[in-house]
Chains A and B, each alone.
Chain A
């Protein structure tokens, strides 16, 4: 019967995907920057994931869920807070992994604020593409390949975004000069 199949599918989803709910929530929390919105977005993302569950193949369930959560976050931001989505300078095209001259005003922006700011606030002020790369690496401990998979960009772009995120943070945080 159909409902037995659905029930089986649901319990498989719960055991394969839901163990990564904390990771999904954390990503949504960093991208939306508040609890209530993160809760809404992550719920929507889980429903989406459940509907697409047939497209999930054995493998990295965490990256799979994070990818959907991220997509839901961006959809949500577009609808509700488009001003958060300032385009990141296209310098990312240089996916050679070479550190790039910092283009966005991020560093200036961060530097103009107090140096004693808390690191989490500084991370929240990074543009979303830099913020997500940093959060996925430092807090979710994903490797470059997984971050590339989740964010849909080449590994070289992941590297340059991480570099830019860290440079911005260091300049704001400890005022140290770095290239």
Chain B
């Protein structure tokens, strides 16, 4: 075999993709050729070096449990009407919190490079926490005139509150969460079995563009006047977009 026949086959040689006959012919050539022999050895070294030094990424446990949860919800949605759903998100929320606790947040700290990312992460964490225990609301009421005054004096932001029951997003109440070290009002809505939390902060210079999906939760942000709104839910992105539209229209009117 000549060099010009050997060269194009070197990659296939180290990849073990040659027939036995081709392989034997090439091996003979490599043994005697001062150019091709080292070339093949260099390819082999590169491979060894890649396998030795490059990280072997594995799916984090939280991603695994998230996927199992999503599948369970999907299967339930395709199979039975509603039967598995509520236990589904509760179990999921629990698994997330556990994984966050176990993993001490290491993976998620990586999210927090940018400031909006940090807020997004805190908002989702906070929403998740509210789903877990008994702290879905501090003030449970579908009456906007009960919910709004409750926040007075408890935070330095007074959120606009509207009930959107007529549009399929009933107001459930409000609660006070801590975002960025400060108490922040959160409005709680329902969409069928899903919970939507709306956090109201002073407006920032944040533009997430469209819906952001993190860990299976959808997040939208918009500014209105001097207030910034962060809405998070496990309902679908289009439902969340509808919600934003309705909420903005109603609070403006």
Contact = CB atoms under 8 A, between A and B. Distances in A.
Contact of A2 (B49, B70, B80): B80
B57 A26 contact: yes
8 contacts: A10-B75, A26-B57, A39-B215, A97-B12, A118-B53, A119-B49, A138-B47, A166-B11
Contact of A123 (B54, B63, B74): B54
Interface in B60-96: 60, 62-64, 66-68, 70-72, 74-76, 78-80, 83-84
Nearest to A9: B75
A14 to B, nearest CB: 7
Contacts of A29: 57
Given A138-B47, A173-B46, A163 B80 contact: no
Query: In the complex, which range does the number of interface residues on chain A fall in?
Result: 35 or more
A14 B83 CA distance: 21
Interface in A2-39: 2-7, 9-10, 13-14, 18, 21-22, 24-26, 29-30, 34-36, 38-39
A129 to B, nearest CB: 16
B43 interface: yes
A120 B71 contact: no
A95 interface: no
A2 B67 contact: no
Contacts of B115: none
Contacts of A22: 57-59
B contacts with A: majority SS: helix
B110 A36 contact: yes
Contacts of A5: 79
Interface residues of B, number: 47
A66 interface: no
Contacts, number: 135
Interface in A139-163: 139, 143-144, 159, 162-163
Given A40-B213, A50-B74, A14 B42 contact: no
A42 B15 contact: no
B135 interface: no
B214 A43 contact: no
B51 interface: yes
Given A119-B53, A166-B46, A159 B12 contact: yes
Given A7-B75, A159-B11, A163-B11, A21 B46 contact: no
A42 B63 contact: yes
Contacts of B22: none
B110 A6 contact: no
B53 A120 contact: yes
Nearest to A4: B79
Nearest to A176: B42
